[in-house]
Structure 1
């Protein structure tokens, strides 16, 4: 069985190429977000899975739900998805579109977990250091996690930097077990 990420990748790439060429990447991100949220609701998912509806009827239903939030070119994109029975992939396409947009803009969302809330100055200093190390503009998302005890845990895509007290205690425990 083919992975949904594999199925959604060409649609996300095509959507991003079209949107970035047209200078509408932000608008397309918003339209994808809205339509992806719509197809995840149980009622809409049930209608999209209804074999009695044609692909045009499914697109028309989704376009009516998203009326005012999508434009004609996006509806054409939905038609392409629907004709290939891929409307349920919109959340996957959204996720991959977001990654492509971040790569193109050289930005990276970074989750910063700390035991205590960071000040704006500390967060800005950390973002500057991470931006320098990762050669990208870093957008930190602070999360307070008291279980860390102290220090911080940074998740930037596949990179994880654990300088928390909890992480160091876990490493020490592993070393003592060996």
Structure 2
């Protein structure tokens, strides 16, 4: 079974439990909190990645860091990951869980690449227009890409709207070159 399939299976199980208990947002935040600790603490990350450390030791360390800070569902889920030796899939599980939660909330991500930083007002306007055109709540992810020279490239799901100057110049070159 692929890593992505394993991550999705665990995320799906957690998602269903969180939805059933009306804890969708809280569980997502707590999963991200665990990821932040792993990103900030090299020791914690190395401990999670080390398959030679027994699950009970990892659980003890986890409890020392997160005691009283997480909902029981999140704790139990993490304990299952440790027992099944699936903690290495945590990042993929969190991504899959977020996608499932976003689908439940009618949220889609739109990636916008532009040659320059967009103002907060421009981002809000673009988010609003994309929400109107898709009928979903849009979460905008903006990236600066100087290689597109000007304009923007918007990616929503598998659709790409390319309004970049670099692409226009390339098309013009192809026309002129015959």
Query: Structure 1 length as normaliser, TM-score?
Result: 0.84
CA contact (8 A) 2:131 2:138 kept: yes
CA contact (8 A) 1:106 1:137 kept: yes
CA RMSD in angstroms comes to 2.3
> In the alignment, does 2:82 pair up with 1:82?
yes
Structure 1: gaps spanning 5 or more residues: none
Structure 2: gaps spanning 5 or more residues: none
Residue deviations 1:6-45 (CA, integer Å, cap 9, x gap): 1111110111111122111111111111222344554224
Match of 1:125 in 2: 125
Match of 1:135 in 2: 135
Aligned residues: 176
Deviation of 1:90 after TM superposition, in Å, equals 0.9
Match of 1:10 in 2: 9
Deviation of 1:158 after TM superposition, in Å, equals 2.7
SS at match of 1:155: strand
* Runs of 4+ with deviation above 4 angstroms: 174-178
**How has the CA–CA distance of structure 1 residues 3 and 172 changed in structure 2, closer, same or farther, with 3 Å as cutoff?**
farther
Residue deviations 1:118-145 (CA, integer Å, cap 9, x gap): 4444433322331233221112233343
Deviation of 1:104 after TM superposition, in Å, equals 0.7
Match of 1:66 in 2: 66
Match of 1:25 in 2: 24
Match of 2:100 in 1: 100
CA contact (8 A) 1:39 1:45 kept: yes
2-structure distance, mates of 1:11, 1:175: 50
Match of 2:54 in 1: 54
CA contact (8 A) 1:37 1:91 kept: no
1-structure distance, mates of 2:10, 2:102: 17
Moved more, 152-161 or 15-24: 152-161
Deviation of 1:156 after TM superposition, in Å, equals 2.0
Deviation of 1:150 after TM superposition, in Å, equals 2.1
